């Protein structure tokens, strides 16, 4: 029987398509959010067991984003070559394989590779799933479909935060029970609990990857991809899975006519595979650059880094262990709730309105967070001379116990926790270490050449032979003395200050969710003309992930040297540019077919 005589069939197929596409968003959210709960335990165990530096920990966080950059280079071409459905299935396989590689890691390299693989999966998902939804959904439902992808992304962040919270409570329970043990046994017990916590956090993410992979294989292929390859009957069959017969026939005719008109305009052959103008030809330049600008500014606000480091940020702001994890869960819930609001509004109020509303709220939130941190960071005490005095044979070792605090000149604080931050270097190799006096294990802060100077690599040697020298040369640090670049001691702010920062971050995430969070995926898929959509989306997402990767990679070293306020003020400045872009450059695409949006830019170019 035809789809028109079985109206429940299109509805059921459409729900399944949205569910699997939503699962792609869930995996993307897990990619971004899972490190937030795992990082505090990874930082306190791997830095001791594997001698990881702050820069290496930043690389582990940024590896997902770097993997996204790498996969964005070929995601569009891959989706054109093998189809949207198979590209989605491949991304699910890569995510699934990354989990055991990370959770069973016994050193920096496998952990980094696992995170890179996770990022490659996320990059494919970020391109292919919005592309698939844009090409398969009706114009009146496209905004809601992209919003659903973002909604499941936020649910992925919530799931990651809940997993982190559960492990935080488990670690706190072990820490409390270990207080009665001798110091050495207590430290070993807490270390083992933290090591188990971050590994368990990653293991719990395996099931969604398996579900998404299996579900992608059951989807229909994109009708526009099929039509571009001359497979009109298969394209019609794909449309019939989610539309009544009359709508499917009419939409197929629109697709074929638009492709024929574009081919005629470009004087290209009407071969089944479809000819293509150059990506940067004049007719595509304006929508392409606008989409790239929107995606770059989305990440320039610092959203991914703030979500990844939010537990650390709230710890520094004054919220203790599990409380910071609980605030992280609340943050992710707010993200999901506001995304639901965006789902309702995006096809009513339009993309332009939501982007202006969201970017304006981001400016206010980041300015508030920056000012709060500026007030707290103003009380830092420079203790570099006292730290330098403890150097022996170009090494330094200390524990932030009461005797050390007294030697560093810490004032009486009535039992309030103190935090010591030391930035140091051996020649061109730098590192930052942080210790708190309320850490039950009181881990040793140790600085040595062998722990700081990284072995030479084939990549580093290759670039030095080209005289590009982007990597430090271990030979320059062989005889370099230990140099303390910055050392300061500060009282950990009270919990009230931590909650004020949390509220500012809540506003930031709520504003992002209702505006850029949903609309960025629409900008990525709607603004790109059909002829360049897959490759154009790859390049735009590449720019997006490159900006995100750079921010994540420099986050920890930057806040150690210049404070959290600097990062928040930078994000606020980028959000101002975002608001201006949405207000004056972005057209409204609500309710328009992809072909109509393309015609709008053609008219602007001709004007």
CATH number, domain at 550?
1.20.1250.20
Backbone angles phi, psi at 587, to 5 degrees: -80, 160
> Tell me, what's the pLDDT at 360?
95
- At residue 488, the 3 state secondary structure works out as strand
**Together in a domain, 488 and 516:** no
89 pLDDT higher than 70: yes
Which strand (E) or helix (H) includes residue 20? helix 8-49
551 pLDDT higher than 90: no
**Together in a domain, 409 and 521:** no
**Together in a domain, 442 and 325:** no
What the block records as the tokens of 422 is 């030391």
Among 41-55, 230-244, 379-393, 551-565, name the most confident range: 379-393
512 pLDDT higher than 90: yes
Distance CA 434, CA 419 (A): 7
Per DSSP, 219 falls in state S
What the block records as the tokens of 481 is 């003395």
Question: Does the CA dihedral 237-243-245-246 come out positive or negative?
Answer: negative
Residue ending a domain, choose from 447, 462, 493: 493
**Together in a domain, 416 and 436:** yes
What the block records as the tokens of 362 is 């981001």
What the block records as the tokens of 178 is 């270990």
Residue 335 domain-assigned? yes
> Tell me, what's the pLDDT at 142?
66
Distance CA 297, CA 300 (A): 5
**Together in a domain, 244 and 328:** no
Mean pLDDT of 70-94: 86
**Together in a domain, 476 and 535:** no
**Together in a domain, 362 and 466:** no
**Together in a domain, 251 and 181:** no
Please state the domain count of the chain: 3
Distance set, CA 505 to CA 59, 314, 317, 318 (Å): 24, 10, 11, 14
Residue 519 domain-assigned? yes
pTM above 0.85, yes or no: no
Distance CA 183, CA 573 (A): 48
Instruction: Please report how the helices 495-514 and 516-526 are oriented relative to each other, as an axis angle in degrees rounded to 10.
Output: 30
> Tell me, what's the pLDDT at 372?
94
Largest CA distance in the chain: 85
Residue 415 domain-assigned? yes
**Together in a domain, 73 and 169:** yes
pLDDT band at 1 (very low <50, low <70, confident <90, very high): very low
Mean pLDDT of 253-258: 74
Straight-line distance from the first to the last Cα atom of the chain, in angstroms, rounded to the nearest whole number:
49
Distance CA 80, CA 222 (A): 11
**Together in a domain, 53 and 101:** yes
Residues 75 and 124: beta-carbon distance below 8 Å: yes
Distance CA 402, CA 379 (A): 20
Distance CA 157, CA 203 (A): 16
> Tell me, what's the pLDDT at 7?
45
Residue 267 domain-assigned? no
> Tell me, what's the pLDDT at 56?
73
Residue 269 domain-assigned? no
> Tell me, what's the pLDDT at 456?
56
Residue ending a domain, choose from 472, 493, 514: 493
pLDDT band at 280 (very low <50, low <70, confident <90, very high): low
**Together in a domain, 523 and 443:** no
Mean pLDDT of 535-545: 75
Mean pLDDT of 185-212: 84
530 pLDDT higher than 70: no
| Least reliable range by pLDDT among 136-140, 356-360, 443-447 | 136-140
**Together in a domain, 521 and 586:** yes
Distance CA 331, CA 310 (A): 9
Residue 271 domain-assigned? no
**Would you say how long the chain is, in residues?**
607
459 pLDDT higher than 50: no
Residue ending a domain, choose from 433, 466, 493: 493
pLDDT band at 366 (very low <50, low <70, confident <90, very high): very high
Mean pLDDT of 267-278: 45
Distance CA 329, CA 572 (A): 24
Residues 569 and 228: beta-carbon distance below 8 Å: no
Mean pLDDT of 253-272: 59
Domain that holds residue 371: 7-221+278-376+497-606
Distance set, CA 494 to CA 107, 317, 372, 417, 434 (Å): 36, 8, 12, 9, 18
Residues 39 and 314: beta-carbon distance below 8 Å: no
Residue 1 domain-assigned? no
Task: Select from 371, 312, 365 the least CA-distant residue to 338.
Answer: 365
- At residue 454, the 3 state secondary structure works out as coil
Mean pLDDT of 318-347: 81
| Contact partners, residue 566, CB within 8 Å, separation at least 6 | 370, 558, 559
Residue 2 domain-assigned? no
| Contact partners, residue 148, CB within 8 Å, separation at least 6 | 18, 21, 22, 25, 343
């Amino acid at each position: 029987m035809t789809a028109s005589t079985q109206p429940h069939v299109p509805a059921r197929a459409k729900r399944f398509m949205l569910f699997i596409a939503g699962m792609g968003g869930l995996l993307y959210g897990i990619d971004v959010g899972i490190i937030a709960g795992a990082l505090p335990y990874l930082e306190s165990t791997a830095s001791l067991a594997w001698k990881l530096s702050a820069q290496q920990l930043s690389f582990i966080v940024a590896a997902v984003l770097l993997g996204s950059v790498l996969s964005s280079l070929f995601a569009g071409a891959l989706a054109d070559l093998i189809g949207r459905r198979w590209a989605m299935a491949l991304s699910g396989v890569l995510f699934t394989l990354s989990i055991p590689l990370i959770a069973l890691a016994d050193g920096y390299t496998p952990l980094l590779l696992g995170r890179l693989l996770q990022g490659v999966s996320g990059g494919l998902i970020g391109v292919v799933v919005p592309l698939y939804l844009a090409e398969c959904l009706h114009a009146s439902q496209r905004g809601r479909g992209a919003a659903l992808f973002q909604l499941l992304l936020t649910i992925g962040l919530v799931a990651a935060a809940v997993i982190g919270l559960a492990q935080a409570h488990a670690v706190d329970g072990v820490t409390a029970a270990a207080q009665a043990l001798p110091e050495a046994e207590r430290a070993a017990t807490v270390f083992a609990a933290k090591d188990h916590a971050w590994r368990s956090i990653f293991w719990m993410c395996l099931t969604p990857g398996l579900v998404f992979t299996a579900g992608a294989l059951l989807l229909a292929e994109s009708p526009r991809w099929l039509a571009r390859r001359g497979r009109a009957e298969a394209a019609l069959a794909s449309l019939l899975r989610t539309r009544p017969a009359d709508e499917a026939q009419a939409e197929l005719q629109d697709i074929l006519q638009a492709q024929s008109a574009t081919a005629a305009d470009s004087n290209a052959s009407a071969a089944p595979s479809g000819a293509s103008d150059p990506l940067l030809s004049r007719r595509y330049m304006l929508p392409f650059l606008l989409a790239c600008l929107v995606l770059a500014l989305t990440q320039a606000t610092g959203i991914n880094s703030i979500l990844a480091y939010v537990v650390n940020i709230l710890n520094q702001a004054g919220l203790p262990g599990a409380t910071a994890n609980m605030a992280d869960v609340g943050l992710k819930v707010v993200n999901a709730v506001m995304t639901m609001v965006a789902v309702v509004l995006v096809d009513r109020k339009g993309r332009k309105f939501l982007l202006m509303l969201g970017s304006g709220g981001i400016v206010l939130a980041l300015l508030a967070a920056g000012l709060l941190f500026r007030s707290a960071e103003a009380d830092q005490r420079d203790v570099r001379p006292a730290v330098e005095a403890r150097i022996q044979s170009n090494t330094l070792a200390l524990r932030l116990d009461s005797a050390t605090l007294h030697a560093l000149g810490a004032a009486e604080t009535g039992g309030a926790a103190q935090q010591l931050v030391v930035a140091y270097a051996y020649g061109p190799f730098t590192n930052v270490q942080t210790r708190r006096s309320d850490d039950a294990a009181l881990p040793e802060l140790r600085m040595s050449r062998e722990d700081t100077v990284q072995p030479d690599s084939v990549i580093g040697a290759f670039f030095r032979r080209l005289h590009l020298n982007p990597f430090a040369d271990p030979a320059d640090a062989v005889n370099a003395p230990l140099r303390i670049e910055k050392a300061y001691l500060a009282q950990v702010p009270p919990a009230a200050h931590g909650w004020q920062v949390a509220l500012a971050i809540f506003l930031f995430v709520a504003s992002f969710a209702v505006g850029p969070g949903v609309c960025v995926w629409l900008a990525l898929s709607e603004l790109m003309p059909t002829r360049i959509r897959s490759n154009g989306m790859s390049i735009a997402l590449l720019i997006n992930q490159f900006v995100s990767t750079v921010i994540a990679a420099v986050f920890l070293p930057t806040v150690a040297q210049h404070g959290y306020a600097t990062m928040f003020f930078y994000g606020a400045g980028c959000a101002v540019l975002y608001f201006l872009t949405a207000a004056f450059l972005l057209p409204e695409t609500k309710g328009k077919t992809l072909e109509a949006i393309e015609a709008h830019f053609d008219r602007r170019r001709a004007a």
